Amino acid sequence: MFGQLFLTLSMTLALQTSLPADIEKRIDALLARMTLEEKLGQMSQATSMRNPIAEEIKQQIRQGRWGSFLNAGLPEDRAEAQRIAIQESRLGIPLLFGRDVIHGYRTVFPIPLGQAAAWNPGLIERAAAIAAREASTEGVHWTFAPMLDVTRDPRWGRVAESLGEDPYLTGRLGSAMIRGFQGGSLREAGRIAACAKHFAGYGAAEAGRDYNSTVIPENQLREVYLPPFQDAVAAGVAPFMTAFNALNGVPASGTRFLLDRILRKEWGFTGVVVSDYESVLEMVQHGFAAGPAEAAQKAVTAGVDMEMVSTTYFDNLRRLVEKQNVSIASIDAAVRRILRLKYQLGLFDAPVRPAASVQTANDARGIAKELATQSLVLLKNDNGVLPLSPSVKRIAVIGPLANSPVDQMGSWVMDARPEEVETPLTSLQRKFGAGRIRYVAALRNSRDTSREQFNAAIEAAKASDVVLLLLGEEQILSGEAHSRAFLNLPGAQEELAAEIAATGTPMVTIILAGRPLTFQNVAAKSAGVLYAWHPGTMGGPALLDVLTGGVSPSGKLPISFPRAVGQIPIYYSHLNTGRPASPGELGIPLGSPVNPEGFTSKYLDVDFTPEYPFGFGLSYTTFEYSKPRASTAELTPGSSITVSAEIANTGKRAGEEVAQLYIRDLVASVARPVRELKGFSRIRLNPGEKRTVSFTLTPRDLSFYNESMELVTEPGEFQAWIAPDSASGSDVRFRFRANTNRQ
């Protein structure tokens, strides 16, 4: 028995260890046979095969002109293109099909920002595995996800695709997605390569305007923007994608600092680096390259292996190699990485297959519902208006987001089908029967300003026991190149809310949006507020379960919600400043007879705090946190400390809670944030039940970059909180004692 186990184990190990060496030999042999043109073809990714594949493209595939396609073709086109590449090109090198499988393929999960609100890496991993399975069935090998850009700017349209404002949360959840897409090995059936994007700093676009420049000091870059990418390398992510932005003046597709020094040398990344869409050519627009040839030279020498869409590599690298401006060694290194990825994916060994298409499966819809449920954040619940009481007989469902399948899917859903989406309206009608539901969209879409349907909506509200008002942003208001300067509910939605509130029927507002919005007026008039993001295919059933009390809401905000656009960037892990405002120092409205007082860091016309802090989210039950305890008063190099707290469900319902561990380094050679997230744990508690949650910290968790850009942990005093959000909780103190700053 033991012998058998040992044999199986050693065979598995042998297989794993012999594979890479074998791959390298096969790559050597292939490289030796490739012409420079064929090499440059491998380094080129095209976006269209036309539909169906054009003769010209078929011919190019036979000639080895393209190594990869993105977002191209139907499954049958991909299958045929692959057949041509394998059977009719000189060397039979298979194509690599990349696609934006961002939050699901056929089954749509909540937008990434919504997924982040679930704070549940295990569930996110399962969702990504389903997306991989569906995509790979239809001939996709590689997704351009996860997006690991930390962002503190809800104006930026791509905040929807982000995992929020915090590097630790982004790193944990992004790594879970990578594991879900890639599995234990890229060769596993139903797995695809992930892609860590956009490297780096893209989420800090100035003024939240997409593609805008970013200016990030190196310590902030290393502490905030880079860690999720380093986590991705540790999680074994296959390729990296560069970003569109110029970081400190250098476009991300031409930066040796990021691509060579940090990614390759410091982190030891050996995978493929792909540019973003035409971002190599855009270096000309940036004013960083005089023309396409210089752009190609700068990108390839910085370490971009594959050029997405623009053709500066194919058009210029031959001449650049001949003139010795680019070494053939750097071309070979890039091609080696690309071929290695194809081998790792098993593409060279896969038989030519006919196209297959995805069948929607129950497990996919089940996970989509669970993830959407956990992503819902309860922001307000006066007098327990939620869950809806059984005495509620007549329900008015009002608003442009109540029955809008496309909008509820959010951005990046090119393979989904709106007819498979369950909207809040259809779920409510199924549960309560159409007779008990009065539905009025009231506005044609979220931007509509017409009041034509307002009377019908008011009548429906008057004739009901409760109003569910579904407001927000339609699909096209967030995502790439969809930044906003105002974050209010667009169109006449605020007026609609005011009219409905005036009927006196209790109103629960449910917001479906791609970003944090500012909606104080509406919240003030609502008895309850649920934030639902763009919840995807199963948003309706998820909302129904929460509204009717089948499950308590348990989502927590992955990003601070501002009170006003003027507060942006607003984030919990800010520095204290020399003049911090005290909690009571709220804004004094301009025009008020009171003189603005106090020379502290605040605003005159709005409170300095966020509307809802990072990590915040209510439940139908209540949780009480004990004061945290530390396992030791003093941490030393090489040791660890455990911080724990007891959490009790003091309410009447079962619920899940996400407990969050924060720390603060009180005095350091570089001022440290007032709080930093270092751990979290989602627990389920029945009424009356208590559980101790514990987190272990090592000196590495207390480290930061000093003025010389060294990662250090300095001796001194620290605070630690275990809290329900970033703005509350009590702390415990401990010290780090060491003779040097090294951990």
Catalytic residue among 149, 276, 407, 725: 276
Of the candidate residues 65, 106, 126, 197, the single one contacting ligand BGC (CB under 6 A): 197
Residue 332 touching ligand BGC (CB under 6 A)? no
CB atoms within 10 A of CB 271: 22
Structure tokens at 245: 């932005």
- Check binding of 100 to ligand BGC (CB under 6 A): yes
Burial of 95 (0-12, 13-18, 19+ CB in 10 A): buried
Considering only 70, 372, 425, 663, the residue that binds ligand BGC (CB under 6 A) is: 70
Measure the CA–CA gap between 159 and 172, rounded to whole angstroms.
17
Give yes or no for residue 620 binding ligand BGC (CB under 6 A): no
Minimum CB distance to ligand BGC, residue 172 (Å)? 21
Question: Whole-number minimum distance, CB 704 to ligand BGC, in Å?
Answer: 30
Contacting ligand BGC (CB under 6 A), which of 77, 80, 166, 276? 276
Shortest gap between Cβ of 70 and ligand BGC (angstroms)?
A: 5
Q: Does 342 bind ligand BGC (CB under 6 A)?
A: no
Upper half-sphere CA count for residue 211 (Cβ side, 13 Å):
11
Tell me if 260 contacts ligand BGC by CB under 6 A: no
Task: Check: CB of residue 160 under 8 Å from CB of residue 112.
Answer: yes
d(C-alpha 68, C-alpha 274), whole Å: 11
Nearer to ligand BGC (CB atom), residue 284 or residue 538: 284
Distances (CA, A) of 131 to 102, 217, 468: 9, 36, 31
Strands 246-247 and 142-143: unpaired
User: For the chain, how far is it from start to end, CA to CA, in angstroms?
Assistant: 45
CB of 451 to ligand BGC, least distance (A): 38
Is position 38 an interface residue for ligand BGC (rule: CB under 6 A)?
no
Work out how close the CB of 614 gets to ligand BGC at its nearest, in angstroms, rounded to a whole number. Answer: 25
According to the binding rule CB under 6 A, does residue 499 interact with ligand BGC? no
Q: Is 144 in the site for ligand BGC (CB under 6 A)?
A: yes
For residue 506, cis peptide bond before it (omega within 30 degrees of 0): no
Asked if 149 interacts with ligand BGC (CB under 6 A), we say no
The nearest distance, CB 514 to ligand BGC, in angstroms, is: 15
Q: Nearer to ligand BGC by C-beta: 144 or 662?
A: 144
Residue from 592, 478, 454, 494 nearest 161 by CA: 478
Q: Which is nearer to ligand BGC, 197 or 340 (CB)?
A: 197
Q: Per CB under 6 A, does 168 bind ligand BGC?
A: no
Kindly tell me the sign of the dihedral angle through the C-alpha atoms of 213, 219, 221, 225.
negative
Instruction: Return the number of the residue (157 or 292) whose C-beta is nearest ligand BGC.
Output: 157
Identify residue 48 by its one-letter amino acid code.
S
The b/e string for 655-690 (b: 16+ C-beta within 10 A; e otherwise) is: bbbbbbbbbbbeebeeebbbbbbbbbbbbebeeeee
Site for ligand BGC in 364-423 (CB under 6 A): none
Residue number with the shortest CB distance to ligand BGC? 144
Which lies closer to ligand BGC via its Cβ, residue 100 or residue 499?
100
307/275 Cα distance (integer angstroms): 5
CB nearer ligand BGC, residue 142 or residue 571: 142
| Measured distance CA(247)–CA(201) in Å, rounded | 7
Please, which residue, 244 or 603, has the CB nearer to ligand BGC? 244
Distances (CA, A) of 513 to 56, 118, 426, 625: 42, 16, 19, 31
Q: Does 71 bind ligand BGC (CB under 6 A)?
A: yes
276 is catalytic: yes
How far apart are CB 210 and ligand BGC at their closest, in Å? 9
Closer by beta carbon to ligand BGC, 210 or else 465: 210
Q: Binding residues for ligand BGC, how many (CB under 6 A)?
A: 8
Residues near 266 by beta carbon (within 8 Å), at least 6 away in sequence: none
- The CB-of-681 to ligand BGC minimum distance in angstroms stands at 31
**Position 480 contacts ligand BGC (CB under 6 A):** yes
CA dihedral 28, 310, 70, 332 (to 10 degrees): 10
Using CB under 6 A as the criterion, which residues of the chain lie in contact with ligand BGC when the complex forms? 70-71, 100, 144, 197, 276-277, 480
Which residues does the annotation mark as catalytic?
276
